[in-house]
Structure 1
Amino acid sequence: MALSSKNQLLSLLLLILSSCILIPEPTVVSFNPSIGITYSRHPTSNLPRPDRVVSTLRSLGVTHVRILNPDHDIIRAFSYSGISLLLSISNTYIHAMAANQSQAVQWLYRNVVPFYPRAHITTISVGNDILTSSPDLTASLISAIRHVHLALHDLGIRKILVSTTLPFDIITSPFPPSAAEFKKPAAEWIMKPILDFITTTNSSFLINAYPYKLFRSHPEVPIGYALFQQNPFNFREDPTTGVQYRNLFDVMVDAVNSAMAAMDHKGIPVIVTETGWPSDGDVNEPEANKQYASMYNVGLVRHLRSGLGTPMRREGPTETYIFELFDEDMKQGPRSDRHWGVLNRNMTMKYPIPFSGSNRCFVALLKQMVVSFCLMFAFLV
């Protein structure tokens, strides 16, 4: 190759290099909601060890994990991982904690004190879906929440927030979102004290929101509307506000915002503690399949990363947890109830979910490759 040709090629490569160096980093939106996953260790299932699970979650870019039925091994595995934890106290403890604060102290000594702050615990949910799954415990819920909060403060731990996880069916109807309210009589005798506590302690409203279940109970809802599919006519307008909703997830979140506002509690942060889509189901559940599960979860992450929030609140939910890490093979009920997991038992993903939400690694790799190539070429000539 002639010297002039080599110089021209080298000049071209240097131009490419300079262009790559100037590649802008991805735009960071003002609101960056946290996207996590729910992890529960089923005693009857042969699941991978917690340390292996944590390693896989870190490699996937997962930054937040909600732990159902926490135990020593799981929480210890997350120490120094950089992953934020939302712990859920089993419903079986609620009555005892409500009756005696010492029961809350004992639970904290088992599951928080030995690991905090090495394990980054940010929130504790006192119970899960109590109003639906354990209605007999409803009267004990507020006392249990307060006792856990007071026990944390007595232990000198003030940065862990306390709340409870509520089912979406406490809402009268999500259509239209602006008219949604909490069902009566629960609105006054249980929801009001919960909202008062959350406001006083600067905590968050925790809700399980499943567009799949709402879609199943409302046949008039198009499947694409539930799966974040984008097209010009895929929206529903709130007749009261005139706001257009382009997916069912936003409808549900804003229904919660409206219900809180109707009780004079605006601006409370919302955490969606469970959402997702089943990857398999019975014959009468054709929409429960891997393709739709992938479409929902990938669409959910893309929507949350967009920074658009919801029509009612620009920041949207502050945290959203996909349900769940593994299938529950031993669970009773419809087949779809057992197939919400996104990981196989060998720790491979059923389908890719872009948890990290960034292409910085690609940009950095591209720059590094061009630099190396240019240096190698310069050495050869």
Structure 2
Amino acid sequence: MHSIAFYLLLLISFTAIAIPPTTSATTIGVTYSTPASISGSVMLSPDRIAAKVVSMKIPAVRLLDSNPAMIRAFAYTNVSLFLSIPNPLVPLLASNRSLAMRWVYRHVLPFYPRTKISIISVGNDAISYSPDVSPFLLRAMQNVHLSLTDLRIYKISVSTTFSFFNIVPTAFPPSSAQFQQPNGEVIIRPILQFLERTNSSFLINLFPYNMYRSSFSIPIGFALFEEFPFNFRDDLTTGVRYRNLFDMMVDAVISSMAVMGHENLPVIVAETGWPSSGIDSSEVDATLLYSEMFLKALLAHLRSGSGTPLRKEGVSEVYIFELVEKDAKQGIRNWGLLHHNMTNKYSFEFSDGGKARRLLLIGFFLELVMLCLLM
């Protein structure tokens, strides 16, 4: 009997070591951009934002404006940062290598590696930006990458962020998806080659809410991950059944990359979410209830580690848009996890606090106890 107890304790010890701290294959972060104006007397200082992120156990933040003070605030926090270079700078960085080096000197060198910077996006949805800066994307990315290499910084990858609706015209069936032409051949193909060569990731802004609104044939439950008998879409070409819109859109991106011979590139969803209020009264599905349902279901789906039908490991990172709500006023959608005064907007916790791991361990212990009782 003593030997059974000994082996039981031994197995429990090994199990506790072997099971990783989280069952999620995907890093789940948030986006943050410095508000144009501060609401009332609430001061959203960089230190306060960083402290809130740490308290919410958020492991990664995408800084949409890469404010150096904000980058500094995340030093020694273990929060990974995803930096962005604004679209107006893209032609300048493409034409002048020294300007690219200057950007790196200002936004990376003073802080790295005390601040964990993981990736830099050169531009955000540059294809839709006016004036069109997309022809300069690749050269700007190359110059930023070379600047990092010159400084012997090899662990920060360089990419650019695309918007799903501006590069993938048809999401269903995912197996037939292709990048919009001529941008697919002229802009995206050379960028995919650069990403492959430099071990970087394909970055995509992907909003199921927008696709749901654009198609009457998509039921709300399919967009909200609800488990109903008819909440699915079958891709007849591959025989794959899709049970939510998020996976379908991700696989449309993967299929589009596969057409160009880059099906194995890691994918990062740089923005996703569901608004809690819309631009006007016509957006009847932009509600706090649906927003909370979407976010809770998305987090549970990503933490399950089930991936997508075309990619079992799923996307490597997902960033929820956005951390802090802009001031509530007419004519804008509200997406924030927090109100603009930094109070919680939803009842659920962003972090599961290791709950999944604890449940897994408890289940394993119970199995061991039953096994020993039967011996």
TM-score range, shorter chain: 0.7 to 0.9
Gap regions ≥5 residues in structure 1: 1-17, 368-381
- 8 Å Cα contact 1:45-1:330 kept in structure 2: no
Aligned position for 1:99: 95
Distance (Å, rounded) in 2 between the aligned partners of 1:49 and 1:361: 33
Higher mean alpha-carbon deviation, 106-115 vs 132-141, is at 132-141
Task: State the TM-score, normalized to the length of structure 1.
Answer: 0.85
CA displacement, residues 73-118 of structure 1 (integer Å, 9 cap, x when unaligned):
1011000000000000011111110110111111111111110000
Q: 1:352: Cα distance to partner?
A: 3.6
Mapped to 2, the partners of 1:248 and 1:334 lie a distance apart of 26
Kindly indicate whether residue 346 of structure 2 is the aligned counterpart of residue 348 of structure 1: no
Alignment correspondent of 2:198: 201
Amino acid at match of 2:156: I
Q: Which residue number in structure 1 is paired with residue 163 of structure 2?
A: 167
Q: Write out aligned runs for 1:210-249 (5 A).
A: 210-249=207-246
Indicate which of 178, 181, 191 corresponds to 2:178: 181
Alpha-carbon deviation of 1:44? 2.2
Contact 2:23 2:357 in 1 (8 A): no
Matching residue's letter, 2:65: N
1:136-169 per-residue CA deviation (whole Å, 9 max, x = no partner) reads: 1011111101100001111111110000000102
Conserved 8 A contact 2:326-2:340: no
Percent identity reads 49
Q: 1:310 to 1:135 in 2, by over 3 A?
A: farther
| Structure 1 residues 122-201: aligned runs within 5 Å | 122-134=118-130, 136-169=132-165, 170-201=167-198
Question: 1 CA distance for matches of 2:224 and 2:356?
Answer: 28
Greater Cα offset, 148-157 or 130-139: 130-139
Structure 1, residues 177-232: CA drift from partner, whole Å, max 9, x if none?
A: 01000011111111110100000001000000000000010111001110111123
The residue that corresponds to 1:6 in the other structure is none
Secondary structure of the residue aligned to 1:207 is: strand
Q: Secondary structure at the match of 1:273?
A: strand
* One of 300, 303, 309 as aligned partner of 1:305: 303
Structure 2 CA distance for aligned equivalents of residues 241 and 362 of structure 1: 34
Between 348-357 and 56-65, the greater mean CA deviation after superposition = 348-357
Per-residue deviation, 1:31: 5.7
Identify which range, 39-48 or 285-294, moves more after superposition. Answer: 39-48
Q: CA RMSD in A?
A: 2.3
Write the distance in 1 (CA, Å) between the matches of 2:94 and 2:121. Answer: 14
Q: Rate the CA distance shift 1:315–1:324 in 2: closer, same or farther, 3 A.
A: same
Q: Does 1:90 align with 2:93?
A: no
Does the CA-based 8 Å contact 2:275-2:335 persist in structure 1? Answer: yes
Larger radius of gyration: 1
Query: What is the match of residue 314 of structure 1?
Result: 312
Whole-Å separation in 1 of the counterparts to 2:357 and 2:151:
45
Deviation at 1:135, TM superposition (A): 5.5
SS of the aligned residue for 1:357 comes to coil
Q: Which amino acid aligns with 1:346?
A: N
Aligned to 1:56: 52
CA contact (8 A) 2:171 2:248 kept: yes
Deviates more, 1:138-147 or 1:229-238: 229-238
CA offset digits 1:207-264 (Å, max 9, x no partner): 0000000001011100111011112331111011110101000011000000000011
1:30 deviation in Å? 7.0
Equivalent-residue separation in structure 2 for 1:360 and 1:280 (angstroms): 31
Q: Secondary structure at the match of 1:145?
A: helix
Contact 1:31 1:315 in 2 (8 A): no
1:54, distance to aligned residue in structure 2 (A) = 1.2
Using the size of structure 2 for normalisation, the TM-score is 0.86
Contact 1:171-1:183 at 8 Å conserved across structures: yes
The 2-side partners of 1:348 and 1:184 are apart by 44
Give the SS at the match of 1:136: coil
The DSSP-based 3-state class of the residue aligned with 1:348 is coil
Structure 1 residues 228, 262: CA separation in 2 closer, same or farther (over 3 Å shift)? same
Supply the AA of the counterpart residue of 2:155: K
Q: Which ranges of structure 2 fall in alignment gaps of 5 or more residues?
A: 1-8, 363-375
Structure 1 residue 344 displacement after superposition: 1.3
Question: 1:40 maps to which residue?
Answer: 33
Query: Given the superposition, is the C-alpha separation of residues 278 and 30 from structure 1 closer, same or farther in structure 2, using an over 3 Å criterion?
Result: closer
2:366 aligned residue: none
Report the residue type matching 1:36 in the other structure: G
